[in-house]
Homo-oligomer: A and B are copies of this chain.
Amino acid sequence: MTNLIQEKVQQAVAVLQEQNIDLWITFVRETRAGGDPMLPLLFGTDLTWPSALLISKNGERIAIVGHYEADTAQNTQAFSQVIDYHTSVREVLKDSVARLDPQRIAINTSKNDTFADGLTHGMYQLLREYLGEPYAERLTSAEAIVSAVRGRKTAEELRRIRKAVHSAEEIYADTFDFVQVGQTEREIAAFMQAQTQARGLELAWEALACPAVNSGPDSPVGHAAPTDIRVEPGHILHFDFGVMEEEYCSDIQRVMYLLRPGESQAPEPVQRGFETIMKSVQAAMKAIKPGALGHQVDAAARTTVTDAGYPEYMYGTGHHMGRSVHDGAGMLGPLWEKYGEMPNVPLEVGHVYTIEPGLAVEGYGYIGIEEDIVVTQTGAEFLSTPQTELILKG
């Protein structure tokens, strides 16, 4: 049976052929301290000493690693050759590259996208020094390779993501039962974290803000920690939560409304806000198809909100999701400078995105729905079960 590392490394060879790049070098060291976002996909564990993963268009897959990590490299079963060294990676790296004699060498550097930008500036300088002429002048960005390898999910990756989505939804169901007027945001967050732990899962992002829980109009929305604000009747209660299961993530937002005495449904402004966001999600879904650009999908969702008279949300409509909860390269976002060229990356079959528009309802709180979807031949399919009704609690 092929393991996931083998699958992704083989996929990379096909992508190099498609893009006509001769060689892709992932060059890392001491990855425990930070590391290249591609390493989990191409190697699966950390590397200590300067190490180079060489994947070539002709199918060679070479891991050059420090001596004490040669066994680990062999154990991945993903590399056709493992070369180890004792005191310097320079010569073995140079020799391997000279033998392959590539015309174009992709490296993990990108002004646009973190996931294609794992090479540090110091390591970039070292790599140029080590390669020397003529290879140092043949370097190009691996952005499009990274986009394809991370973005095009294999069947196994999709299976894992579906599992992570399903688990998050189960924890949400338990949480909707658990929630009571009088609880603090912090207490609700602790419940969800305990449920995650009880299932042997990890949170999809840092515990400080996973989940985010926002009750009522005064709760700070964003990547902030839950507060001691208490759930009260008349509050919109908003959640942002995901788990990591078998190393893959889910990321889902849900909203409840806490009925006031005498209410049997949410007041009109709350209901209208909810329906606007629901329609915004649907508009994004309709715009998604292979070849569409991220900013086109973003615009579809965004204008649904602004056309309904609400202010524009000041973040992108959605992001890749996979090994990392915010994955890359590319996104469903507007052409704002902070997003670089990411919103211009075309959507492809097998891409997994979140769709997460949002708006505030004055006096009640924040409404954000976030669904997880996969791009298909004909459009898009929900991975999460979309929220189509406000969850009400008395």
Instruction: Point out residues on A near B: beta carbons under 8 Å.
Output: 29-30, 32-37, 45-46, 48-50, 66-72, 75, 85-90, 109-126, 205-206, 208-209, 220-225, 314-315, 324-328, 336-338
A32–B205 CB distance below 8 A: yes
B86:A314 contact, CB within 8 angstroms: yes
**Other-chain contact of A33, B29, B115, B126 (Cβ < 8 Å):** B115
> What are the residues of chain B within 8 A of A124 when measuring CB–CB?
121
**Known interface pairs A121-B120, A223-B69. Does A114 touch B29 (Cβ–Cβ under 8 Å)?**
yes
Q: Known: A32-B206, A121-B120, A223-B69. Contact between A338 and B89, CB under 8 A?
A: yes
Structural contact, B126 and A122, CB atoms closer than 8 A = no
Q: Please, how many angstroms separate the alpha-carbon atoms of A99 and B29 in the complex?
A: 37
A34 and B32 contacting across the interface, CB-CB below 8 Å: no
Q: Find out whether the CB atom of B337 lies under 8 angstroms from the CB atom of A208.
A: no
Task: Return A33 CB to nearest CB of chain B, in Å.
Answer: 4
B337→A87 contact, CB < 8 A: yes
Most buried by B among A67, A117, A325, A326: A117
B114 touches A117 (CB 8 A): no
Q: Are A222 and B336 in contact (CB under 8 A)?
A: no
Residues on the B chain within 8 Å of A69, using CB = 222-224
Interfacial chain B residues near A122, Cβ < 8 Å? 109-113, 116-117
Inter-chain CA distance A205–B75, complex, in Å, is 18
- A49-B338, A90-B337 in contact; A121/B126 too (CB < 8 A)? no
Closest CB in chain B relative to A31 CB, distance in Å: 8
Minimum CB–CB distance from A320 to chain B (whole Å) comes to 11
Complex Cα–Cα for A111 and B121 (A): 8
Contact between A109 and B114, CB atoms less than 8 A apart:
no
Contacts of A115 in B (CB 8 A): 30, 33
Q: Known interface pairs A33-B37, A118-B120. Does A48 touch B326 (Cβ–Cβ under 8 Å)?
A: yes
Interface pairs A-B: 7 shortest CB-CB:
A68-B222, A88-B337, A117-B122, A30-B114, A87-B336, A121-B124, A71-B224
A-B residue pairs in contact (CB < 8 Å), sample of 19:
A30-B326, A33-B327, A34-B34, A34-B35, A45-B208, A48-B223, A68-B221, A68-B224, A70-B222, A71-B222, A72-B222, A85-B338, A87-B337, A88-B337, A90-B337, A111-B126, A112-B122, A113-B122, A120-B120
CA distance A69 to B338 in the complex (A): 14
Query: Whole-angstrom distance between the alpha carbons of A386 and B220 in the complex?
Result: 50
Q: In the complex, are the beta carbons of B222 and A46 less than 8 A apart? A: no
Residues of B within 8 A of A37 (CB): 33-34
A141 → chain B closest CB, angstroms: 8
Q: Chain B residues near A118 (CB, 8 Å)?
A: 34, 120
Cβ A71 vs Cβ B220 within 8 A: yes
Given contacts A87-B338, A123-B117, A337-B88, contact A326 B33 (CB under 8 A): yes
Find chain B residues with CB under 8 A from A324 CB.
32-33
Contact status A32-B326, CB under 8 Å: yes
- When C-beta atoms are compared, the residue in chain B nearest to A71 turns out to be B224
Residue in B closest to A335 when the chains form the complex, CB atoms:
B87
Cross-chain contact B325 with A32 (CB below 8 angstroms): yes
Query: When chains A and B are docked, how far (Å) is the Cα of A206 from the Cα of B48?
Result: 12
Instruction: Give the distance to chain B from A105, nearest Cβ to Cβ, in Å.
Output: 14
Write out the residue numbers on chain B whose beta carbons fall within 8 Å of the beta carbon of A119: 120-121
What distance in Å separates the Cβ of A64 from its nearest Cβ neighbour in chain B?
A: 12
Residues of B within 8 A of A87 (CB): 314, 336-338
Distance, CA A142 to CA B84, complexed state (A): 31
Does A33 contact B114, Cβ atoms closer than 8 Å? yes
Query: A49-B338, A72-B208, A118-B120 are known contacts; what are 8 more A-B pairs with Cβ within 8 Å?
Result: A29-B114, A33-B327, A34-B118, A69-B224, A71-B220, A75-B225, A90-B337, A117-B121
